[in-house]
Amino acid sequence: MIYWGVLIPILIILEFSSNTSAIGIYFIRSPESLVAPLHDEVVFDCTLNINVDNIKWLHNSKDFLHPAPVHTNSNSRLVVKVESIAETGDYQCVATIGASSLASTAATLSLATLKEFDNRSLLLSDDKFKITPGNTVALNCGKPIQSDPPALIQYYKNGQPLLRTTPVTSAGSVLLKNIQSEHTGHYTCSATNNILSQVVNSSMSLYLDVRSNHVALSPRFISKPSSLYIAQKYSNVSIECAPYGEPVPTVKWLGIHKNMLINDNKTIIESGLLTIRNLSIEDSGVYDCIAENSYGKISHSITLQVQELPYVKNGPSETVVIDEGSSETLKCEAMGTPMPKIIWYLNGKPVNDTNILVKGSVLTLNNTKKYQAGFIQCFACNILGCSYWAAMIQVNPKQITQLTSQQHYYEDSTTRSPQRDRKDRNHKGKGRKKDKKKKGNEMVPPSQPNVTRLTENSVMVRWFVPPNDGLQIQFFKLQYKEVGGSWNTSSDDIQMHIRCYQVDKLLPDHYYIFRVAAVYSNADNKSGPTSKHFFLSRGPPNRSLIPPTLVSARAVDSTSILLEWEYLNSVLAPVQGFYVYYRATSTAGDYTKAIVDGQDTRVFVVTHLTPDTSYDLKLQSFTVHEASNFSTILTHKTFGMYPSTLYQNKVDSDEDYENLIVFSSQSETARTIKKADLELVLFSTVE
């Protein structure tokens, strides 16, 4: 039986060149950290996406031989009987592919334990507290000295469990809000380890006497609240500060910049509690809680540390080609909080070679040998877990040749030798590119894409193409993959005037990267740079943005509809732009999307539509992190092929003509349409 996995988040980053035998190799499943009681069995899985020659297991970096793992060529399973503490530690699988090996991240096996409460942190001045109704108080019974997995803390009043709806802070306290006489009673708590089915009781035992005839009292705490909170990036944290007094004290919060905190999209302030949502590293710092009534004042400082899973931002190129006997330096740039430590692996083992110099994130191969060919991995690890980047090292053996007298003659005559000819044929210097380059034949690729989260399973990807005189783009293809996986390509040929695309059916709590490929008029294609690593967080959309108000939709010609909307800019969270959705009303299929950059834009011309066709149209505002709810849907019809009157009587004055701004969905560039222009132009979009 597999017991609770202690979540050490694992991010696998594998990049291989498309022209090596290792194309697309990655771990479908890596071993996961587990907790188990004595005398039970646990199972570690290690599965790759291809057949491999062999899979072996390491225990604390040494070969694990007994009991022997059961494995096939495509996956491996290790069953461990937990008889003593000797079986605990780190487990790692190493896959052998030809002469090269690839190591997984390590998983930790630990024994399920539950010890007594640590009562040193309980600073109770008395076991009986007289409190005036209307106060909010926090009860904290501490936590066990050790519990693996973390114990479930249960609070009791007069021996009966408190309701689950009672608010609990990130420090494990229970909040009793706006207490009344019915809160009077005796409070205790216990801790339960579900794996061991064991329960230990805390020594906390206090009595709350809630009455309205108590004497005046300056603000104070039942027990000193926690001064340190540690939370992960993108999570929420609830910080407690619940002093009581008579009269009931007022509480205010100061942020890390000593500014007064208020309820907004980021923070929620309620009685006794400050909640910060969607944490970022910038939220780390000291927060102050200040409570005051007419008889006194009390303050408390809380330090928040936001931690981030490690990930490798940049690593060695997909294939590193080194001549035998030469030197090469590889770099690995990792991110995370705390700052990750870098460990280098070569062919499934930590680097331990006299001619390889490792200084943190930099590895230098000196006098490279043929046996050093294979997989090179840089692991980035902090207390939250590990991730790695993998590449292939290819070592070109030395070429030993003898020149014939005729070849010497050619060399002396400054005529190219066969060896030089071979070099020149493989030479890809600037000079050769310049000779071959012809004006108008350049394939200008799309930009690096930006990504916006729509839901926990979908994102919007947007890009642009810089102005150029190169080959014309016929259509785009969007490619995406989970970091460490294989590329997926969109089934749709994205029309050349479109600059955004929605990707669905993704998995939450995973990292993804995206890129856009353009297919040109010569039937060749070229991909733009990959996006930054995008973490798709779990949970419903935040939807804190205000949706735009779609005011009108008007046909411009037989293939275009002009949209106008209103939007109240938010000072706290300005938007980056708007997404336009449109589809033929009769189809009820997927919407086509267009992007409008800039928070001040209020009109847009939807182009490339079908004549004499009714369309459903709607909008979203968006930022880097989220998109708003949709606006109301407007339905409008394009003109027929030969309208008798084109956009007549649609504006009331010359000023209306002068002020009308139309944005092209192709160029994303504004044009001011003058009165004379309106009389002649069909609002065709700008290439």
Express each pLDDT in 180-223 by its tens digit.
Answer: 999 999 999 999 998 998 999 988 888 999 988 778 899 999 98
pLDDT at 540: 77
Q: Are strands 206-210 and 128-131 parallel, antiparallel or unpaired?
A: parallel
Report the predicted TM-score, pTM, of the whole model to 2 decimal places.
Answer: 0.55
Higher-confidence position of 399 and 474:
474
pLDDT at 642: 53
Q: DSSP string spanning 360-429?
A: TTEEEE-S--GGG-EEEEEEEEETTEEEEEEEEEEEEPPP-----HHHHHHHHTTPPPHHHHHHHHH---
What is d(CA 395, CA 346) in angstroms, rounded to the nearest whole number?
Answer: 14
pLDDT at 317: 83
Which segment of 50-59, 194-203, 300-309, 379-388 scores lowest on mean pLDDT? Answer: 50-59
What is d(CA 202, CA 522) in angstroms, rounded to the nearest whole number?
Answer: 75
| pLDDT exceeds cutoff 50 at 650 | no
pLDDT at 399: 58
The SS3 call for residue 183 is helix
pLDDT at 296: 94
Question: Which phi and psi angles does 483 have, rounded to 5°?
Answer: -60, 120
Q: What is the pLDDT of residues 245-271, one digit of tens each?
A: 999 999 999 999 989 988 888 999 999
pLDDT at 226: 92
| pLDDT exceeds cutoff 50 at 124 | no
Residue type at 122 in one-letter notation = L
- Rounded mean pLDDT, 3-12: 30
pLDDT at 273: 93
- Percentage of the chain modeled with pLDDT above 70: 80
Tell me the average pLDDT of the chain.
Answer: 80
pLDDT at 662: 39
- Rounded mean pLDDT, 68-92: 77
Q: What is the pLDDT of residues 424-433, one digit of tens each?
A: 444 444 444 4
Which segment of 55-59, 96-100, 202-206, 257-261 scores lowest on mean pLDDT? Answer: 96-100
pLDDT at 304: 96
pLDDT at 122: 53
Q: What is the pLDDT of residues 585-605, one digit of tens each?
A: 887 678 899 989 888 888 999
Instruction: Render the burial of 63-88: b for 16+ CB within 10 Å, e for the rest.
Output: ebeeeebebeeebbbbebebeeeebb
What is d(CA 366, CA 355) in angstroms, rounded to the nearest whole number?
Answer: 5
| pLDDT exceeds cutoff 50 at 685 | no
pLDDT at 143: 87
Beta bridge mates, 620: 579
Other CB atoms within a 10 A radius of the CB of residue 109 amount to: 21
- Rounded mean pLDDT, 355-379: 92
The SS3 call for residue 459 is strand
Q: What is the pLDDT of residues 284-336, one digit of tens each?
A: 999 999 999 999 999 999 999 999 999 998 888 878 889 999 999 999 999 99
Q: What is the pLDDT of residues 602-614, one digit of tens each?
A: 899 999 999 999 9
pLDDT at 300: 96
Instruction: Report all structural domains of the chain as residue ranges with CATH numbers, in order of start.
Output: 27-111 (2.60.40.10), 114-307 (2.60.40.10), 315-396 (2.60.40.10), 450-536 (2.60.40.10), 549-637 (2.60.40.10)
pLDDT at 479: 94
| pLDDT exceeds cutoff 80 at 627 | yes
| 672 band by pLDDT with thresholds 50, 70 and 90 | very low
| pLDDT exceeds cutoff 50 at 640 | yes
The SS3 call for residue 434 is helix
Q: What is the pLDDT of residues 448-479, one digit of tens each?
A: 999 998 888 899 999 999 888 889 999 999 99
Which segment of 13-27, 248-262, 336-350 scores lowest on mean pLDDT? Answer: 13-27
- Percentage of the chain modeled with pLDDT above 90: 47
| pLDDT exceeds cutoff 80 at 342 | yes
pLDDT at 65: 65
Closest CA to 468 of 434, 444, 449, 499: 444
- Rounded mean pLDDT, 539-544: 74
Answer whether 114's CB lies under 8 Å from 197's CB: no
- Rounded mean pLDDT, 85-103: 90
What is d(CA 461, CA 457) in angstroms, rounded to the nearest whole number?
Answer: 13
| Distance from chain centroid for Cα 427 | 40
- Rounded mean pLDDT, 530-545: 82
| pLDDT exceeds cutoff 90 at 64 | no
| Element of type H or E holding 431 | helix 430-436
Closest CA to 7 of 484, 385, 534: 385
Q: What is the pLDDT of residues 269-282, one digit of tens each?
A: 999 999 999 999 99
pLDDT at 357: 94
What is d(CA 584, CA 616) in angstroms, rounded to the nearest whole number?
Answer: 6
